[in-house]
Structure 1
């Protein structure tokens, strides 16, 4: 019999409040791509042709495999960062979020610990907790994941009786910090992971969005036998199609397929066919190049505005990222950004408080700003509104309300 006590044993997961739009709101919250760059006329013609000619197949149920026609499109994307796509090891998902839950349910055992690069993408922590796993922050230094300290952390956790088998990382233009793990550190991490028998989960939505077009070799490309790679079309194409993939070592792929089949019954054959057709007709270069250029401009506008409004020697610190969607501000002297968010909302601006990216109450002194979808003409205005509240809070002239601006996940 189902009881209230039984219900309480499952974690509570909140849906995000990130995508509000309209009115005078300037949203620096949700990680939305700029779909003004999509070639909608060409795309609509391709979709119409697909529906007319192949609709009876594309709109039917399918099997839990990546469609053969889509494999070259995935192979192309992964190869740009040195990745390797084996068709037998590809598992279709409705974006990386589904992939995270699928791998947690397939490969994790309730009660075990998953090490996470921190600050961590909240959707990953939510997926792990939903599967009954325990996210735990992996040690870091100024260069990112600290491989020497990782050995000691894993040894300590295992000595305490905890089962530790997976390490979750978002190594390129990380959400939320925008940081990238250096190549040398990637090789060190993979060596230590093999030594410790840790399976690495590499979540890589932003790796192809470097502003100068350069890429860093993916962890999966270096060591495909010990890395589960989460890929998605949400950031390099469009999130509304809800299409992604897991590139897994072949022995693990079938377990993952069984779980994704339970979760979704079948992937969208229509979505896969549409993406395959787009790639076949024009490739990825024009769209990805346009995204890179647009995001580089938006990031520059936001960083310049922050420099002008908050200065470079004040209490707030940030680094200009070299790609991705986000700027991460931190106040080493201490700030409660959950409380500040309500005051900023009163000025018509939204951001994600840093506490959402902590695993155990950390990062409350930080906030994440997303520049990817903000109209270029409103970035400086939004930063000015934000800065006025931050300065007022430092001076004690701005009141904030406790408990406001709770946001859930932060895509």
Structure 2
């Protein structure tokens, strides 16, 4: 593995639980909404009628029965694909590594929207790729500056191949790139001869039910799209897909076959059966409403505890799993994470989302899986730590002045 180009990114500890800990760390879906009785019956039927096939090895293709479930999800955001362009993965994380190994060449540079999902940084670095922040401004990715950035890096001898982004309800900021910017970004990427990798776990989880057309739907010939059932169904099934231009799909299929030999036929069959019997509407609508409520509870609690004109600033997202807080005067959120853990609350420091250790003044809060009755309590514990840090900083400044 080409890990000598740069060490793999450190992955945050997201899923620790136990005791009185209130975790705002991991972006876990709320599986209380899954119809478990119905699923149990469907899976039992699958085992009785086709278990010998469902539990056998399969080919590195999306099962024919699952294709309608994927195309249904993608079409809700304007995506366009067919069976020949789909590559099965064990979730988007596998897809990211497959792209790094199967499309790029070790030593090439990937431009990344920042702050970036740390799993993407880890996957690309493990594949031997270099990372560089994509140009951005207050509106997000800056298409106007993209060609010049690419030209500069190439003039310095870097081989810039891809642009990675998470344009809808981004992890960790919750931000969404406007439709106008999407068109401009696609034009700029073509001008700069860049392939776009679009990571889209949260696009269907807008709180008001509205969606934004994916980059893949706008330009399927120059976008590799990563989809997953982890956020709209359940992560434990480890099932996702890559929708890629035809020449790249076959290359990625060979790469995933080396990585996993074959996808889980049982998982694909179970998801296909659920979609055929129930569709996606009821479950996705329930997820949207649940996350809308929890986001509102967290944002309201933050306003009550920290105010809206203090040093900690954030925006209410329109969907997804996360709130992103930044300290206007700078803060060491790694140190604050340790103090928060002592008070029984956890979050992810912003440095985990930086490409070179930046982001120390920020933190990510996940509201998706916190019991609604504990959100305000968790924010209260967190706010006490953040206010304590402010008091310590003020005392330190006063002491130096004297």
What is the CA distance between 1:62 and its match in structure 2? 0.2
Q: Secondary structure at the match of 1:229?
A: strand
Within 5 Å, which residues of 2 pair with 1:348-387? Answer: 348-387=344-383
Equivalent residue number for residue 311 of structure 2: 315
Distance verdict in 2 for CA 1:397–1:160, change over 3 Å: closer
Equivalent position SS for 2:271:
helix
1:3 — aligned with what? Answer: none
C-alpha displacement of 1:12: 4.1
Query: What SS does the aligned partner of 1:74 have?
Result: helix
Shift of residue 120, structure 1, vs aligned partner: 0.2
Instruction: Show structure 2 runs of 5+ residues with no match.
Output: 396-402
Q: Distance in 2 between matches of 1:122 and 1:32?
A: 16
Cα displacement (A) at 1:11: 2.6
Please give the secondary structure, in 2, of the residue aligned with 1:396: helix
Quote the offset at 1:332 in angstroms. Answer: 1.8
Mapped contact 1:115–1:138 kept (Cα < 8 A): yes
- TM-score, length basis structure 1: 0.94
C-alpha distance in 2 between matches for 1:284 and 1:306: 33
SS in structure 1 at match of 2:99: helix
Which stretches of structure 1, 4 residues or more, deviate above 3 A after TM superposition?
A: 6-10, 12-16
SS at match of 1:201: strand
1:343 corresponding residue in structure 2: 339
Any unmatched runs of 5+ in structure 1?
Answer: 1-5, 400-411
Task: After superposition, give the CA deviation of every residue in 1:225-264 in whole Å (9 maximum; x if it has no partner).
Answer: 0000000000000000000000000111110011100100
Q: Is the 8 A contact 1:389 1:398 kept in 2?
A: no
Q: Distance in 2 between matches of 1:396 and 1:214?
A: 44
1:284 maps onto 2:284 in alignment: no
Alpha-carbon distance in 1 for matches of 2:170, 2:269: 30
- Give CA deviations for 1:11-56 in whole Å, capped at 9, x if unaligned: 3454542101121000000000000000000000000000000101
* Residue matched to 1:172: 168
Distance, in Å, in 2 between the alignment partners of 1:364 and 1:7 is: 25
State the SS of the aligned residue for 1:225: coil
How far 1:152 moved relative to its partner? Answer: 1.3
* Aligned equivalent of 1:139: 135
Identify the residue that residue 212 of structure 1 maps to in structure 2. 208
1:107 corresponds in structure 2 to 103
What is the count of residue pairs matched by the alignment?
Answer: 394
- Partner Cα distance (1:189, 1:67) in 2: 33
C-alpha RMSD over aligned residues: 1.4
Q: Secondary structure at the match of 1:245?
A: strand
1:52 matches 2:52? no
Match of 1:266 in 2: 262
Conserved 8 A contact 1:343-1:398? no
Q: State how far apart, in whole Å, the 1-side matches of 2:77 and 2:186 are.
A: 16
Distance in 2 (CA, whole Å) between partners of 1:198 and 1:76 is 28
